[in-house]
Structure 1
């Protein structure tokens, strides 16, 4: 697995790429350049990781159970290899998780499942229940349901989460959701924001005009919210 680091100090940002994206996408799209003033000033340090979405949720030839098992392997890679590596490069006590599109799902899911490791989540143009079909975006698990699926769909498990110790840890995290008003996932974001509110999560929910699901919009969003 490959990753790219931008910056020398500041808030460590674990940056997940968009759907089936690569670790170099944010550099190629100008997203890193959009943050260059803050990076050069030592305010933030980006750790742009790779994805294996084509082996997990977008792997149409694999059985859904296998897709989930591969996803959990990816989560272990992030928690057991990437986060310790970040600690060797950055003195931040806590880490910010961020991402666009499918990367927003990964950022939200990993931070909400391991909240003691993160202090902020920034999710742009995300989808937080991959089992719910939306327009031409299908159920990514083809109707398959299990406890593992449930425990990896933020909208589902946050709705029913009653563990007060875990909720208290999550309430310490600054959560930022950003979505375009005509984005197909707007309703998903709205429902997720409502769920966070019901659970006492102080969070920001920013609605942008139009679709806003593109590199051009994300390059503006990161400068405002990361």
Structure 2
């Protein structure tokens, strides 16, 4: 596969965000890393290789990007209000800087987002906050309630970045036009979180697929099986 290393400077974050981009053309998929993971994580664990056929045939183009988890959700040395604000800046980087650039580069109105474990939280939260920018959401082994990271701290920014809180009250009709796949497995400790989000989506009449793989747990072999299957639904 063609692999390109890039740096994207974010004015919101005041830093470069590194990424690996796979493919020359195709429908763009942004891949968020797992907890405190880096842009090369999916390459190192072989997940990008499971998408080789889709990339080399021009079906998809993968953007494996960095997170700022070490300055937000996992930055225990910072006040919770500062941590959630750093995530808000990351969301603004995605919404106002990176995703518009990808839309122009690939000549698409909407992109796809995906991720495993905590990367799945990032993908789902961005998709549900900005459904006008996302046409496909593919998560694997994710949990979606982030209140446990904040030690009881709660404000408006927490509410609007905690999908179990804001999703039931979200009236955005674009949510009904998104291809949503929630992937988990029988022994995944995040399975109940996926079942809860699926229940909220069912209550709102939003079409989606809850895929519970009947083997495995919260680990890479399951996600490497799921990712190409979910790409085939695009």
- Mapped pair 1:93 → 2:109: yes
- Mapped pair 1:186 → 2:191: yes
- RMSD across aligned C-alpha pairs, in angstroms? 1.2
- Mapped pair 1:155 → 2:160: no
Matches within 5 A, 1:57-206: 57-131=73-147, 139-161=148-170, 163=171, 166=172, 168-206=173-211
CA distance in structure 2 between the partners assigned to 1:211 and 1:59 by the alignment:
30
User: 1:12, 1:47 within 8 Å by CA — same for their partners in 2?
Assistant: yes
Match for residue 48 of structure 2? 32
Q: Please, which runs of 5 or more residues in structure 2 have no aligned partner?
A: 1-16
- CA deviations 1:20-65 (Å, max 9, x no partner) are 1100111111111111011000000001110111111111111110
Q: TM-score, normalised by structure 2?
A: 0.88
Q: CA deviation at 1:151?
A: 0.9
Match for residue 136 of structure 1? none
User: 1:10, 1:92 within 8 Å by CA — same for their partners in 2?
Assistant: no
- CA deviations 1:52-95 (Å, max 9, x no partner) are 11111111111110001000111111122211221343122210
- CA deviations 1:100-133 (Å, max 9, x no partner) are 11111111111111111110100111111112xx
Deviates more, 1:41-50 or 1:147-156: 147-156
CA distance in structure 1 between the partners assigned to 2:135 and 2:22 by the alignment:
20
CA distance in structure 2 between the partners assigned to 1:171 and 1:87 by the alignment:
21
Q: TM-score, normalised by structure 1?
A: 0.92
Q: CA deviation at 1:210?
A: 3.9
Deviating above 4 A after TM superposition, structure 1's stretches of 4 or more consecutive aligned residues are none
Q: Please, which runs of 5 or more residues in structure 1 have no aligned partner?
A: 132-138
